[in-house]
Structure 1
Amino acid sequence: MADQAVALRGLRKSFGSVEAVAGVDLGIADGEFFAMLGPSGSGKTTVLRMIAGFETPTAGTVELGGRDVTRLAPFERDVNTVFQDYALFPHMSVLQNVEYGLRVKKVPNRREKALEALATVRLEGFGKRRPSELSGGQRQRVALARALVNRPRVLLLDEPLGALDLKLREEMQVELKAIQREVGITFLFVTHDQEEALTMSDRVAVFDQGRIEQVGTPAEVYERPASAFVAGFVGTSNLISGEAAQAVLGRDGTFSVRPEKLRVAPPEEAVGDGEHSATGLVTEVVYAGPATRFVVDLDAGGRLIALQQNLQVSSMDVMGLRGTRVRLVWHRRHEFAIV
């Protein structure tokens, strides 16, 4: 990949007998918003810490802008990190917090640069306040401004939205992406929240047990997962295998189809060209406002979950389907084989 901001080659990290990162090769382009997604203990945060210089790899190399920085100290790398707890100095004003790194490096025009950084994160006029006088979202923006003010080549974000409530977190997801586009800096975002990764990133690396399972755009990872783990971790996925695969699809193997690709229809409904279907009993109905989730036990064995938008139905309409027989219908192009 040309113009790589980050290149990881054969990266490994062991803590005693535990191999936290088991051989990671990855390239991240300049100006890319890249997410490392995975459950706790999957190795994503350890990879970020090795890029930042907080951990030394057991093997492999870390390159930033084509320069090998594997053995360099954190302050010798052209990166900054934003953490979940923000780590703001409580005795300093917002402006002083943002200026701090510039003052340590004796950068001229510190006040002007700090004010510009605050404007970038939409905090004009907040410079005189203390962190204790800010909301959680505002403190997160201050931490972001402090990291951006040095204009690093790569900004590392270690689950920075984890402490925010749901509504604010969703707002900040959109805001972070807008800021990244505005400043043009490579953002490397670590999260266990698949919605965050899909919402904000240009590409996603899905981690499991110290390895990368798949790298791709959000659409590629969601629509064409490379493994059963990715299919199950990134969104909800139905797996069809064994006798059910043979009975419903006419072939062996394990296949997956997303819940929103399934249409709930009467059991007698005819199936169109290019479609597959399976009949079964609705065992559970979950009404969630915009959509309803149906749990269907198939006659052929196994269980599928269907997600249907509530376009012209009410909660009374859908709740009455529990205990009835239905046919689930989907197009063949929406099913994919799982290796």
Structure 2
Amino acid sequence: MPETPTPALLHLMNASKCYGSNRAAWNASLRVARGEILVLLGPSGSGKSTILKLIAGLEDLDDGQVWLNGQNIGHLPPEQRGIGMVFQDYALFSHMTALQNVMFALHRQPRPRRPKMALEHLAMLGMADFAQRYPHQLSGGQQQRVAVARTFASAPQLILLDEPFSSIDESMRAHARQEIRAILRQSGLGVVMVTHDCTEALSFADTICVMNQGTIIQTATPQDIYLHPANAFVASFIAPTNLLPAHIHNGHAHCILGTYPVAAQNRDTEQAWLSIRPESLSMEAASSTQAGPQGIVESTEFRGDCQFHTVRIGAQTCTVRSAIGPSFQPGDRVQVRPCSPESLVVLARQ
């Protein structure tokens, strides 16, 4: 008898999928509660889209189970799973109006009721005034909202989103994310989204699963992923960070920046990484009276709302983010320090 999982809207259990010798997904497990937005995040080829297809039934499991609302659905075809999916290109029918596209998902409803029901779903997405337009007459963001309306019309228990913002102009993406997230939150449905965009994942998700090479490496809240990455890959993929070689001894980390206390659970080792975000470093002009390591500014990059400085200390470099103000110039001698020892994260060096 297979193990029956504890109650959850979606429970993917030890799912694996191989294409020849390529492990597209390997022993992957995740849970999604009602009203929760889970984001699968990883680089291209990490297996996140494969996981989405296994949940949807677009690919067959080699091993593992898919449970939805207490039912094992791994053997069911996609149309019987109670799952709605918004594809990356939205998959709208080009010969149908926005209203007709949404009506297509209402084929189980009595025909006379379909136009009114479809218009209600479009209105929920702010698209009622565009009901008679064809997809080519709509912007990327408008097409997305029609696709979401069509998905809602199918009355799913779970919604899957495959890179839903990639076709929207970059200047409009943040606004689109806020709108769609609010609508999904209001629906109370469970959501699984795939993206390779870390900013998108951090701002959209309740829970993030970071993937690489077919494996889920870490599952946590966006804050925990950012502040407490599981390893060097997660730390550097989720956002820019400095990975400084260090050794740990008696509760202290020794690196190019000096010696700082770290959490007591970190064991003594000669092989560790010290991860610290650029915004968690401070920099000031060095003087002959200051103790501690000093470095030379190699480059400065203006980003509009901030500045990034590359500083060489001995044979290593680190990146410091600072607010707009008096800028350091290449060749300046500086001293770099962590803003707080709590911002230092010790990671295994493999």
TM-score (norm 1): 0.91
Identify the range of structure 1 (148-157 vs 73-82) with the bigger mean alpha-carbon deviation: 148-157
Question: Residue 61 of structure 1 corresponds to which residue in structure 2?
Answer: 65
Question: Post-superposition shift, 1:131?
Answer: 1.1
Question: Post-superposition shift, 1:82?
Answer: 0.5
Question: Post-superposition shift, 1:106?
Answer: 3.6
Question: Residue 280 of structure 1 corresponds to which residue in structure 2?
Answer: 295
Gapped regions of structure 2 (runs ≥ 5): 248-252, 261-267
The partner residue of 1:338 within 337, 343, 347 is: 347
Q: CA offsets, 1:196-238, max 9 Å, x none? A: 0001110100001111111111000001100110001000110
Q: Is the 8 A contact 1:293 1:306 kept in 2?
A: yes
The partner residue of 1:291 within 306, 310, 315 is: 306
SS in 2 for 1:338: strand
Question: Residue 200 of structure 1 corresponds to which residue in structure 2?
Answer: 204
Question: Residue 324 of structure 1 corresponds to which residue in structure 2?
Answer: 332
User: Residues 128 and 328 from structure 1, CA distance in 2 versus in 1: closer, same or farther, beyond 3 angstroms?
Assistant: same
Letter of the structure 2 residue corresponding to residue 308 of structure 1? S
Question: Post-superposition shift, 1:175?
Answer: 1.1
Distance 2:208 2:288 in 1: 39
TM-score (norm 2): 0.89
Distance 2:322 2:74 in 1: 49
Distance 1:35 1:242 in 2: 32
The partner residue of 1:89 within 75, 87, 93 is: 93
Letter of the structure 2 residue corresponding to residue 21 of structure 1? A
Question: Post-superposition shift, 1:258?
Answer: 0.6
Letter of the structure 1 residue corresponding to residue 302 of structure 2? Y
Question: Post-superposition shift, 1:116?
Answer: 1.7
The partner residue of 1:306 within 311, 320, 343 is: 320
Distance 2:186 2:232 in 1: 37
Question: Post-superposition shift, 1:278?
Answer: 4.5
Question: Residue 257 of structure 1 corresponds to which residue in structure 2?
Answer: 276
Distance 1:235 1:277 in 2: 28
SS in 1 for 2:119: helix
Q: CA offsets, 1:55-104, max 9 Å, x none? A: 0010000111111011110001010111111111111111010110112x
Distance 1:270 1:183 in 2: 61
Moved over 6 A (4+): none
Distance 2:292 2:81 in 1: 55
Q: CA offsets, 1:108-156, max 9 Å, x none? A: 6322221221122111211111111111111111111111112311100
Question: Post-superposition shift, 1:2?
Answer: 6.1
Gapped regions of structure 1 (runs ≥ 5): none
Question: Post-superposition shift, 1:242?
Answer: 4.5
